A = this chain, B = another copy of it.
């Protein structure tokens, strides 16, 4: 079964690095999971598609057409911000790129569930969470120790 990696975050200024993360993950055979929205989520999905990968988007609302155009498989949860839990729970590992309060909630939930989390700099400072300065390093760190096709 292919490794699933959740890419979380927000901020237009982080899109280029998120796109690179998505591309690197797809090149390693990983499926990219996001919240299905804009900015970092769209960029990571776009990067994955550019590399021939597969993407899943887990939306907070009730309508499938709210997903960005680079999402292959749309999950419509209808549960608002609580969908953040589903995004990180669905990743075998999680990479945070930029982001605000919603991203911090996701980092915390991912850690609570025992998912491996990596923060790509710049980004939240969270005690105990490893950081990477480059997309390639973030992907390496996230996948290290996981089994499956992406390891």
Contact = CB atoms under 8 A, between A and B. Distances in A.
Interface of A: 1, 4, 31, 33, 54, 56, 58, 62, 64, 73-82, 85-86, 89-90, 92, 100-102, 104-105, 107-109, 111-113, 125-127
B105 A101 contact: no
B86 A62 contact: no
A100 to B, nearest CB: 8
A137 to B, nearest CB: 24
10 contacts: A62-B89, A75-B90, A77-B86, A78-B79, A78-B82, A78-B86, A81-B85, A104-B105, A105-B105, A105-B108
A-B residue pairs, 10 tightest by C-beta? A105-B108, A101-B112, A104-B108, A82-B82, A76-B89, A79-B79, A77-B86, A101-B111, A78-B80, A105-B105
Contact of A112 (B75, B89, B105, B125): B105
Given A62-B113, A101-B108, A85 B90 contact: no
